[in-house]
Structure 1
Amino acid sequence: MHVCARPRSLRTGVVLTLLAALLPALAVLGGAGSAHALDDGLARTPPMGWNDWNAFGCSVTERLVEQTADTMVASGMKDAGYTYVNIDDCWMTHSRDAAGHLVPDPAKFPDGIKGTADYVHRKGLKLGIYESAGTATCAGYPGSLGHERQDAADFAAWGVDYLKYDNCNNQGVPYQQRYDAMRDALKATGRPIVYSLCEWGEDSVWTWGAATGHLWRTTGDISASFGSMLSIYRSNVRLAGYAGPGGWNDPDMLEVGNGMSFTEDRTEFTLWAEMAAPLIAGTDLRTATPATLSLYTNRDVIAVDQDPLGRQGTEVSSSGGLHVLAKPLAGGDVAVVLFNENAAPATITTSASTAGLPAAPSYRLTNLWSHQVTSTGGTVSAQVPGHGTVMYRVSVGGGSSVGTTHPLAGASSARCLDVAGGATTPGTPVDIRDCDGGAWQAWTPTASGELRVYGGTQCLDAYDNRTSPGTPVKLWPCNGGANQRWNLDPDGTVTGVQSGLCLDVTGGNTPAGNVNGTRVELWDCNGGANQQWRLV
């Protein structure tokens, strides 16, 4: 049985429907829930971390947790802000001991939860654990109902920093009574423990959750499909008025890396960040691809989620499956997301004023995935792929990436667009290679659409003016030809003006296609991570 898996009740569905018309008005207030948030200094921004359930179910072990902690440090996730390494269900034996204490499964956790916590803490991270506000957990292990004080004291003694508290086998005891009992028990330990209410969005938890815990699930469980993610988004986005520093709407763990397309993975991460949701990775980080890690570690997008103002983004327009969200940020900028839930690409347009920015002669648009900077007189518009998003940080002012020099990094490899061997000979192939800051990786977009290199004397060139998939990309003296003109698209692709094809790392969606020296070519645009680029 999936942890937290339970159908939403009819009553909750009715409540959601009745609240739908009121919530946009409440959302304008922003952070309404924070007025009643627990005054303990915890979760002032949404928690970030990892949980084992989505990828492993009951197969959690001490070794898995420790290896994941190692990976979070080595991959840069810790430095990007991920803090919690969270153990889910099935970590204990099926019976309490003679004194009534929970017993960590000695086969899975030979050093106990205390030993695991000590290891995680030595890595500069924090440990989370799971229990249920019932007589048994969702997987049938002992629950904490009636044992709140004893269990909370054990969690504190073990060094636990985060509790995910589920709702299975609750015996019909009122929600707030059960969840408040554990809140009080955690407080009595004197240890700072972030408290996650995995209450499935029942009993309109968002109306009382901030006085009880630090985050609360707003829906049933997520799965690794676009349809599941979309359904949860639609429910959670309506609840912005209840979130704020110290108390957050939780649309469940991220499925990024678990089987959706790269575009859909990026959409989930974008929407969760825009909604100031907890960012809890739910994949096997030990085997995560560079493409998956490029999503989890995008610091510009993370900064939107972690913005200290603590406002959840709201829909400022939504029609025909095309959505515009705006999230005010500390300092006056606004994060704007254009989201296309449909399968076909579509142009989505809004304005700076609709997004809540003050009147100004011009605005700076910083694309938070491609890192391209553009200016606008007020219109914010982009062609958005099916199931995709484009995310901008919009500020008063101007600016442009044109004329600035950058490496171009590929999402599938984390390597840079590179002139093979650092050669300057016309016709030299272009490949990917570890980013090294060399002149052979320093590309300058021009107003005419060129990508110049070596101080502007040579250009990225589609070989021999060919326009068919598989055309090699070469180095060639700049000549103004259409085969040397490129569009840096809002979705992160680089397309040839002459061919309409995408700049593609050959075979780059496989491990063999991500190695140093892999050639770059033109290919039909397909949304793959090997066609996604960002200015570094």
Structure 2
Amino acid sequence: MRRFLAVAAAALTVVAAAVALPATPALALDDGLARTPPMGFNDWNAFGCDVNEQLIKQTADLFVSEGLRDAGYRYVNIDDCWALKERDAATGRLLPDPVKFPDGIAGTAAYVHTKGLKLGIYGDAGTNTCAGYPGSLGHEALDARTFADWGVDYLKYDNCYNQSDGTQAEYIRRYTAMRDALRATGRPIVFEICEWGTTQPWTWGADVGHLWRTTGDISDNWPSLKSIIAQNVGLSAYAGPGHWNDPDMLEIGNGGMTATEYRTHMSMWAMMAAPLIIGTDLRSAPAETLAILTNRDVIGIDQDRLGAQGRVVSDSGGLLVLDKPLASGEHAIALYNSTDTLATVGVAASATGLPRASAYRLRYVWSGAVTQAARTIETAVPAHGTVVYRVRPVGDPRPLAPSVTVAGSMGTAVPGAGIPLTTTITNRGAGAIGDVRVKVTGPAGWTATAASASRRSLATDASFATSWTVTAPAGTAAGSYPVTISASYVWGGRHRQTSASTLGVNVVNAPPGGRLHLSTVRAAAVSGSVFYDQNSAGNLISIGDHVYVRGIGTLAPASLSYYLGGSCSSLVSDISGGTLEVYADDTLVAAGSSGTLTAALSGATWLRLVTAGTGEADWAQPVLTCGSAGPGDPVLPSSRTLFSFESGTDGFGIANADGGGSVEQSPAFATDGSAGLLVHTPVNGNWFGPALPSPFDLSGAHALKFDMRTSGLGSVGEFAVQVGDAYTWCQGGQWTWTNPGGSRTVTRSFDEIGCPAGVTLDPADIRAVWVFLNTGGDVWIDNIRAE
């Protein structure tokens, strides 16, 4: 769902914040706009409500100076929080915030236009925007005229406070009203439908907008990216010139993913013909980020005038192949690996739309390297990686290097113990390769040995495998380590070349002594769908009336393996659903489907949890006891309860007296004791908390947490603290959303809570703790704690 925002000023003023088969689109909006997917910038992912005229103008300048305009980026888009909270009393028009936009939106648009760029604005198909500013429901004609008068070129139209009955017809009515209003202005304005995929807009959006969101909001992490790819990738039949599936904006450069994952982000958006809307602070973007965003080959695939979204050719076991025909006659072929280890991904050329040929030329878009393949387009793809080739038939492949796949598989490494590694070299090129030599290299101090690692020759589509023993030195810390497999070979009778792949090898150590929440212990291996500290629906695990803040949710079949090294004595967990089994090494030591499960683990090297059967099953608050720990020892990581609401409201009130809201003790939701706090939230939200009689000293803690459950409206949750003698307000900015009727733990590390310039957050001097809640419904919270 859409994220919400709030900003606290010194006076604590708060601003809230099975796919159907395609029908032939009507294309009534085929007006010549967005013939290729829009490219540009939006401030939301990096800045939230902290948008202003200076940021937009600086971004426009950077589009020019950093080559983004030349690469095809055109739209500089303003998201939520640009307006005043009230419309003009005389005219009813929306008003830009004069502090944020002293030149107004019109002045900002004029500046952006001088750079050869276009300006976008944000609105909402409800009574309010997601951050609580005026929406356009019932004001469509006036707002569209206002946007056009300002010189706006793009409208992102959101879906908060929509007053809808939930039917597809009602959604179509609201968005069509703005489509017609925009058309009536006579100004060409690209129209983005942002209703989060709620009513399958891909089935009706081509008649209403130029692009439509197919998913909820993206987040800057791998699980979010992986999930959104899975939701959008099968919608190729609905996309084309002037009407595009939109899996949300780019997170590239925001720091939550690896370079490999960001290249996957860019690659898959291009293959899916998705809009490329930058969501990072370009003022501080490093060269690596700009290189990903401006890769001409990848952009060319996204912007290809044929307008085809890549078609799924194969999808199995987390490995996906997409085929996207290009106007040049070439095909872009993407080999995507969503698994957590190096994997070979490939497809027969005959299974794609490529014409029949004796060989094919492959150009890797991220490096420019050119190879040739006879019948199979294949490579070893790193975990979370994507390899994209531009492919076309080639009459004479002999001048081109052959495509050679260098693959390997290796289990979890225990320091000091030899672990088997199998390497496989496959020649996919037309013509044999000779004098093949394989080498394995690990970090300093690692060893790799094999009985034989060479082959005289390999014919087309032939492979050979080598068994190795790889050893990490004793004392190696737990973590992921690179082990590189390289193959040197001769092709064309005289050219020697080397191809390589890198495995991320998981090194495990025995757990430290103590009683440990198992959800915080690093698993050596995971299979199936596994969710930490939540169930498969994304809520806190509940069994009967008991709500648990720690646990492991699963969808059967699933399993988790942990290296114990003989140092642990027992596992105790409440369980619910399916058949849950505990193995010590290969021996079944406990099993059940409900109640409390106790497993003896003394002397076991490995612990394995198995969820058998089908459906949802939960391990609730599993505690692993290791070393000399006893039943009375605290469970780690430990936390300090700040407010538990066992004796009342703990002094909670509201920060903004004019904002509304109230609190009362309630037994309806409790994660610590038998009672929590029921908060009646105002539509635009408020901050709830107490005036502390004396400061909290939270030295040694790294984060604040609270648990929440929502009513039928959902809510955001956020932390703020006041520090020092001046009671300076320091605030988080991530605004965690909880779905209607859902529950979760909201967590903010102290590093994520920002203070004004010149102020440092001192955990030893916390003068007040506040939580933000909104949407006008009831929200229950409990167990506000430091961990």
The TM-score normalised by the length of structure 1 is 0.71
- Counterparts of 1:77-88 in structure 2, within 5 Å, are 77-88=68-79
Shift of 1:331: 2.8
Question: Quick one: distance in 1 between partners of 2:151 and 2:36?
Answer: 22
Question: Quick one: distance in 2 between partners of 1:161 and 1:78?
Answer: 16
Is the 8 Å Cα contact of residues 440 and 485 (structure 2) preserved in structure 1? no
Shift of 1:346: 0.5
- String of CA shifts for 1:160-183, please: whole Å, max 9, x gaps: 000000011111161111101100
Within the candidate set 246, 259, 282, 1:250 is matched to 246
- Counterparts of 1:111-510 in structure 2, within 5 Å, are 111-172=103-164, 174-258=170-254, 259-397=256-394, 497=486
Corresponding residue number in structure 2 for 1:424? none
Is the 8 Å Cα contact of residues 48 and 278 (structure 1) preserved in structure 2? yes
| Structure 1 residues 400 and 178: CA distance shift in structure 2, 3 A | farther
Q: Which runs of 5+ in 1 are unaligned?
A: 6-16, 27-31, 404-446, 450-464, 472-481, 483-492, 500-522, 528-536
Which one-letter code corresponds to 2:239 in the other structure? Answer: A
Corresponding residue number in structure 1 for 2:599? none
Question: Quick one: distance in 2 between partners of 1:169 and 1:133?
Answer: 8
Is the 8 Å Cα contact of residues 352 and 394 (structure 1) preserved in structure 2? no
Corresponding residue number in structure 2 for 1:475? none
Is the 8 Å Cα contact of residues 342 and 503 (structure 2) preserved in structure 1? no
Is the 8 Å Cα contact of residues 373 and 399 (structure 1) preserved in structure 2? no
Question: Is the partner of 1:266 in helix, strand or coil?
Answer: helix
Q: Does 1:59 align with 2:50?
A: yes
Relative contact order higher in (CA < 8 Å, ≥ 6 apart): 1
Question: Quick one: distance in 2 between partners of 1:243 and 1:524?
Answer: 35
Identity in percent? 60
Question: Quick one: distance in 1 between partners of 2:125 and 2:399?
Answer: 53
Question: Quick one: distance in 2 between partners of 1:331 and 1:67?
Answer: 36
Shift of 1:87: 0.1
| Structure 1 residues 289 and 400: CA distance shift in structure 2, 3 A | farther
Shift of 1:285: 1.1
Corresponding residue number in structure 2 for 1:44? 35
Which one-letter code corresponds to 2:338 in the other structure? Answer: E
Question: Quick one: distance in 2 between partners of 1:222 and 1:300?
Answer: 24
Is the 8 Å Cα contact of residues 469 and 524 (structure 1) preserved in structure 2? no
Is the 8 Å Cα contact of residues 341 and 503 (structure 2) preserved in structure 1? no
| Structure 1 residues 45 and 383: CA distance shift in structure 2, 3 A | same
Shift of 1:215: 0.2
Question: Is the partner of 2:76 in helix, strand or coil?
Answer: strand
Question: Is the partner of 1:154 in helix, strand or coil?
Answer: helix
Question: Quick one: distance in 1 between partners of 2:182 and 2:434?
Answer: 62
- String of CA shifts for 1:215-235, please: whole Å, max 9, x gaps: 000111110111111111111
Which one-letter code corresponds to 2:72 in the other structure? Answer: G
| Structure that is richer in strand per residue | 2
Question: Is the partner of 1:283 in helix, strand or coil?
Answer: coil
Question: Quick one: distance in 2 between partners of 1:144 and 1:156?
Answer: 14
Shift of 1:263: 0.4
Question: Quick one: distance in 2 between partners of 1:188 and 1:50?
Answer: 26
Shift of 1:245: 0.5
Question: Is the partner of 1:140 in helix, strand or coil?
Answer: coil
Shift of 1:39: 2.2
Within the candidate set 77, 84, 105, 1:93 is matched to 84
- String of CA shifts for 1:342-365, please: whole Å, max 9, x gaps: 010011111222121111111110
Question: Is the partner of 2:233 in helix, strand or coil?
Answer: helix
Which one-letter code corresponds to 2:58 in the other structure? Answer: Q
What is the total number of aligned residue pairs between the two structures?
A: 405
Question: Quick one: distance in 1 between partners of 2:74 and 2:434?
Answer: 45
Is the 8 Å Cα contact of residues 373 and 401 (structure 1) preserved in structure 2? no
Bigger Rg, which one: 2
Which one-letter code corresponds to 1:192 in the other structure? Answer: P
| Structure 1 residues 388 and 185: CA distance shift in structure 2, 3 A | same
Question: Quick one: distance in 1 between partners of 2:336 and 2:240?
Answer: 23
Is the 8 Å Cα contact of residues 37 and 303 (structure 2) preserved in structure 1? yes
Shift of 1:526: 8.2
Question: Quick one: distance in 2 between partners of 1:396 and 1:117?
Answer: 47
| Structure 1 residues 124 and 18: CA distance shift in structure 2, 3 A | closer
Is the 8 Å Cα contact of residues 134 and 145 (structure 1) preserved in structure 2? yes
Question: Quick one: distance in 2 between partners of 1:468 and 1:169?
Answer: 55
- String of CA shifts for 1:517-536, please: whole Å, max 9, x gaps: xxxxxx99689xxxxxxxxx
Is the 8 Å Cα contact of residues 2 and 57 (structure 1) preserved in structure 2? no
The TM-score normalised by the length of structure 2 is 0.49
What RMSD, in angstroms, separates the aligned Cα atoms of the two structures?
2.8
Question: Quick one: distance in 1 between partners of 2:291 and 2:196?
Answer: 30
Is the 8 Å Cα contact of residues 467 and 498 (structure 1) preserved in structure 2? no
Question: Quick one: distance in 2 between partners of 1:371 and 1:400?
Answer: 19
Question: Is the partner of 1:246 in helix, strand or coil?
Answer: coil
Corresponding residue number in structure 1 for 2:59? 68
| Structure 1 residues 37 and 396: CA distance shift in structure 2, 3 A | farther
Question: Quick one: distance in 2 between partners of 1:44 and 1:295?
Answer: 23
- String of CA shifts for 1:86-124, please: whole Å, max 9, x gaps: 000000000001210100000000000011001111111
Question: Quick one: distance in 2 between partners of 1:107 and 1:169?
Answer: 26
Question: Is the partner of 1:38 in helix, strand or coil?
Answer: coil
Which one-letter code corresponds to 1:153 in the other structure? Answer: R
Question: Quick one: distance in 1 between partners of 2:188 and 2:4?
Answer: 24
Question: Is the partner of 2:181 in helix, strand or coil?
Answer: helix
Which one-letter code corresponds to 1:178 in the other structure? Answer: R
| Structure 1 residues 235 and 102: CA distance shift in structure 2, 3 A | same
Question: Quick one: distance in 2 between partners of 1:525 and 1:230?
Answer: 21
Question: Quick one: distance in 1 between partners of 2:265 and 2:338?
Answer: 11
Shift of 1:496: 8.7
Is the 8 Å Cα contact of residues 229 and 268 (structure 1) preserved in structure 2? yes
- String of CA shifts for 1:66-101, please: whole Å, max 9, x gaps: 111111111111100000000000000000012101
Deviating beyond 3 angstroms after TM superposition, the runs of 4 or more aligned structure 1 residues are: 1-5, 398-403, 465-471, 495-499, 523-527
Question: Quick one: distance in 1 between partners of 2:371 and 2:385?
Answer: 20
Question: Quick one: distance in 1 between partners of 2:370 and 2:231?
Answer: 32
- String of CA shifts for 1:443-462, please: whole Å, max 9, x gaps: xxxx999xxxxxxxxxxxxx
Question: Quick one: distance in 2 between partners of 1:361 and 1:467?
Answer: 36
Question: Is the partner of 1:36 in helix, strand or coil?
Answer: coil
| Structure that is richer in helix per residue | 1
